[in-house]
Structure 1
């Protein structure tokens, strides 16, 4: 079987140094004369050299200098605060962060991964979409540390995961409402294709089963992370012949849309509907009434993610799964029905 071309082969064929080849395949990393760039690109094409191989070769045995951070939606305050904390954690270790956003689009995610491979980042922290496991697996094959934070993919060998204990958090929210006397509890979660959507729904259903509360599938709504469908889900729940007396919004990205719909409908909280949300924005305490929340420990999620992303790379190392405890904070938005 023929040996794959190396970056050294390209440099030799083009009559340049390895550093020059590196600058050509990593745009923005340094100046290269136009004629030199053309010569290098011609050698790459002639030798069928793959830039992904370059990413692997150019990694050094020492500490990484750049981390990739791939987030689903930086308009979501949760992800914005997570990005801020990841940058803080990385800089405290002398590491820069290359931030990319996918807007929940698998095609944009593919492009982001290709860019990160070519930029030879030392590790990647990401909230993945559910549709590109093969692309993430290829990144792992380059011996790049991959850390899924908040969400995870089951079929990416070697990837680490960091999240809250989603089942436990959903259980806490549901147990609180059942203890108050609620038996009709609406539950708005993320897509069933997402790990968080599945886990939080499972925790909610487990409590109902244990407490002998009749389960009605019409009370559970899975909605996308982007858009305003959280509001539509609220409208559908309240239009049921027997509407819920309590609501858990377990899709962080849809909290605002859900609350906006309640306000527009004139629904009194908690007199008409008790509400628990997965969110830790400061405004939740200023909302009238103050919202009962599941507060996610963003600083801890970021610290664990950066630590795993910067750990010594080892292809055979066992992946780690870290589940941190979120905080249940009862406030005035929940009461007996």
Structure 2
């Protein structure tokens, strides 16, 4: 387990009667929700100017001061840290998400402990246990495809709030922040259809959620255009590596009835498609899901469907901080939009 920084307190203090004004006292005096006071105090999120002024007036009137020691020692929060459990950190998507979440947490006075599970349910369960053992204040998790019912006890009994990011979890109820994968798949495929393509292949990575929704969008776009999906053009790779994508693309493009366009559902797969096309010295229309470095600098810049990955991390971190500070509203499901960036490869027409 690695982390950018951490703070650890080894034991809990004895219970004492709290005589200091609390954040809840401020909320009651200002006539606002507790989460609004939290946002003003921690400097995260958006609050209207007049509301922020009312909160500050209440703070000054009752003499509220944020007690960092009390925050760090309350049950379930023996350190001013949050846990961040991600997938493969060699994937730029997760690195960007993590960077943004850490920045939000740091601005609010929290350090971040980072761990990875790499799609292994047992590794994930152990990593969660280790983070809870360090008394983190809350968890941001990119869940794998296993059963996450065990997290309900952590969120309930141990009072450790959880936010899922990039995918929902099976068997667990908590906030979740996603990108609109299905709409991204639809946008990518429709763009290729608009260029005149009818035989459009799709390369998918082994994901129980994200690429599955992208495949759903692909099929929806084809059907809406009166095109019957061809199962021979739907390729699901075993591991989702660049090498697998390159080999699969080579097989597709040298077949008796090759596709004229390819929709690759991750950045790694797009790289594999490009390598195969270069090796075969052939031109095929390509739209990839997720942007990647130098995509706009290639001889034919790569058309992509992309989302604001940093906002995904920021939004998840803000939600978690709100929960840590007492927001007990029903679980939220936030879906961030995607956009298509036309650069060249997706605009290649049929030959």
TM-score under structure 2 normalisation?
0.73
Residue 105 of structure 2 corresponds to residue 94 of structure 1:
no
Instruction: Tell me the residue number matched to 1:307.
Output: 318
Instruction: Tell me the residue number matched to 2:76.
Output: 59
TM-score under structure 1 normalisation?
0.76
For residues 139 and 59 of structure 1, do their structure 2 counterparts lie closer, same or farther at Cα, with a shift above 3 Å needed?
Answer: closer
Structure 1: unaligned runs, 5 residues or longer: 1-18, 24-55
Q: Displacement of 1:316 after TM fit?
A: 6.7
Q: Displacement of 1:248 after TM fit?
A: 0.7
Instruction: Tell me the residue number matched to 1:42.
Output: none
Q: Displacement of 1:299 after TM fit?
A: 2.2
Residue 162 of structure 2 corresponds to residue 149 of structure 1:
no
For residues 319 and 175 of structure 1, do their structure 2 counterparts lie closer, same or farther at Cα, with a shift above 3 Å needed?
Answer: same
Structure 2: unaligned runs, 5 residues or longer: 1-8, 14-72
For residues 316 and 58 of structure 1, do their structure 2 counterparts lie closer, same or farther at Cα, with a shift above 3 Å needed?
Answer: closer
Instruction: Tell me the residue number matched to 1:161.
Output: 176
Query: Cα deviations across residues 185-244 of structure 1 (Å, max 9, x unaligned)?
Result: 0111232x5211221111110111111012111211222555332223323322432111
Q: Judge which range, 308-317 or 319-328, deviates more.
A: 308-317
Counterpart pick for 2:339 among 327, 332, 336: 327
CA contact (8 A) 1:113 1:135 kept: no
For residues 206 and 120 of structure 1, do their structure 2 counterparts lie closer, same or farther at Cα, with a shift above 3 Å needed?
Answer: same
Query: Cα deviations across residues 113-160 of structure 1 (Å, max 9, x unaligned)?
Result: 111111121221121110242343343333322222112224212x21
Give the SS at the match of 1:323.
strand
Q: Displacement of 1:57 after TM fit?
A: 7.3
Residue 122 of structure 2 corresponds to residue 107 of structure 1:
yes
CA contact (8 A) 2:264 2:270 kept: yes
1:20 and 1:319 mapped to 2: Cα distance? 31
2:168 and 2:204 mapped to 1: Cα distance? 16
Query: Cα deviations across residues 22-61 of structure 1 (Å, max 9, x unaligned)?
Result: 69xxxxxxxxxxxxxxxxxxxxxxxxxxxxxxxx973259
For residues 233 and 57 of structure 1, do their structure 2 counterparts lie closer, same or farther at Cα, with a shift above 3 Å needed?
Answer: farther
Query: Cα deviations across residues 70-89 of structure 1 (Å, max 9, x unaligned)?
Result: 11101011111111111112
Instruction: Tell me the residue number matched to 1:296.
Output: 307
| Alignment length (residue pairs) | 280
Counterpart pick for 1:205 among 203, 212, 219: 219
Give the SS at the match of 1:248.
strand
Residue 193 of structure 2 corresponds to residue 184 of structure 1:
no
